[in-house]
Amino acid sequence: MKILTAAQTRALDQATIQEQGITSAQLMERAASAFVEWLSHQFDSNEAGEILLLCGPGNNGGDGLAAARLLHQAGYAVRVALLPAEKQSADWQHNRQQLPAAVPVAEMEAEKLPEIASGTLVVDALFGTGLSRPLEGLAAAVVRHLNKAQARVVAIDLPSGLFAEAPQPADSAVVRAQHTVSFGLPKLAFLLPQNADFVGAWHVEDIGLSKRFINETATPWHYTDAAAVAGALPPRPKFSHKGTFGHALLLAGSRGKMGAAVLAAGACLRGGVGLLTAHVPGCGYDIFQISQPEAMCLPDPQVAYLSKLPKLDAYQAVGIGPGLGQAEATYTVLRKLLKNAAKSTEKRPTPLPLVIDADALNLLGSHRALLKLLPENTILTPHPKEFERLTEPARDDYHRLELLRDFATAHRCLVVLKGAYTCLATPTGELHFNSTGNAGMATGGSGDVLTGVLLALRAHAQLPAFEAVRLSVYAHGRAGDLAAVHTGQAGLVAGDIVRHIGPALAEVQAQI
Ligand SMILES: NC(=O)C1=CN([C@@H]2O[C@H](COP(=O)(O)OP(=O)(O)OC[C@H]3O[C@@H](n4cnc5c(N)ncnc54)[C@H](OP(=O)(O)O)[C@@H]3O)[C@@H](O)[C@H]2O)[C@@H](O)CC1
Ligand SMILES: Nc1ncnc2c1ncn2[C@@H]1O[C@H](COP(=O)(O)OP(=O)(O)O)[C@@H](O)[C@H]1O
Ligand SMILES: [K+]
Give the model confidence (pLDDT) of 313-366 as tens digits. Answer: 999 999 999 999 999 999 999 999 999 999 988 888 899 999 999 999 999 999
339 is in an annotated binding site: no
Nearest Cα residue to atom 49 of ligand 1: 28
Do 6-219 and 243-510 have matching folds?
no
Average pLDDT of the chain is: 97
**What per-residue confidence (pLDDT) applies to 347?**
82
Q: Whose CA is nearest to atom 15 of ligand 1?
A: 130
Q: What is the pLDDT of residue 445?
A: 98
What's residue 345's pLDDT? 84
Question: What separation in Å is there between the alpha carbon of 167 and the centre of ligand 1?
Answer: 18
**Is residue 128 marked as binding?**
yes
Residues around the ion ligand 3 (C-beta < 5 A): 60, 124, 128, 155-156, 160
- Å from CA of 207 to ligand 2 middle: 33
8 Å CB contact between 124 and 54: yes
Residue nearest to atom 13 of ligand 1 (CA): 130
ipTM computed for the complex = 0.94
What residue spans define the domains of the chain? 6-219, 243-510
Choosing from 441, 448, 453, 497 the residue with most ligand 2 atoms within 8 A of its CB, the one to mutate for a pocket test is 441
Q: How many angstroms separate the alpha carbon of residue 497 from the centre of ligand 2?
A: 11
Q: Is 406 annotated as a binding residue?
A: no
Residue 118: its pLDDT value, please? 95
Q: How do residues 100-156 score in pLDDT, each as one tens digit? A: 999 999 999 999 899 999 999 999 999 999 999 999 999 999 999 999 999 999 999
| pLDDT 10s digits, 79-114 | 999 999 999 999 999 999 999 999 999 999 999 899
CB of 123 closer than 8 Å to CB of 29: no
Q: 180: CA distance to ligand 3 center in Å?
A: 8
403-425 in b/e burial notation, b at 16+ Cβ within 10 A? bbbebbbebebbbbbbbbbbbbb
Residue among 68, 75, 66, 74 nearest 53 (CA): 68
Q: Is residue 148 within 8 Å of 123, Cβ to Cβ?
A: no
Q: Which atom of ligand 1 is nearest to the CA of 57?
A: 41
Written as one string, the DSSP assignment of 346-374 is: SS--SPPPEEE-HHHHHHHHHSGGGGGGP
* 465-474 average pLDDT score: 98
Ligand 2 closest atom vs CA 421: 4
Q: Which of the ligands is closest to the CA of residue 422?
A: 2
Q: Is 480 annotated as a binding residue?
A: no
Ligand nearest to the CA of 9: 1
Q: How many CB atoms lie within 10 A of CB 10?
A: 14
Q: How far apart are the first and last CA of the chain?
A: 16
Query: Residue 389: which residues within 8 A CB-CB, separation 6 or more?
Result: 361, 362, 365, 366, 382
Q: How far apart are CA 356 and CA 360, in angstroms?
A: 6
Q: Is 171 helix (H, G, I), strand (E, B) or coil?
A: coil
CATH number of 6-219: 3.40.50.10260
**What is the CB < 6 Å shell around ligand 1?**
13, 24, 27-28, 31, 56-61, 63, 89, 127-135, 139, 156-158, 183
What is the CATH T-level fold of the domain 243-510, as seen in this structure?
A: UDP-N-acetylmuramoyl-L-alanine:D-glutamate ligase (3.40.1190)
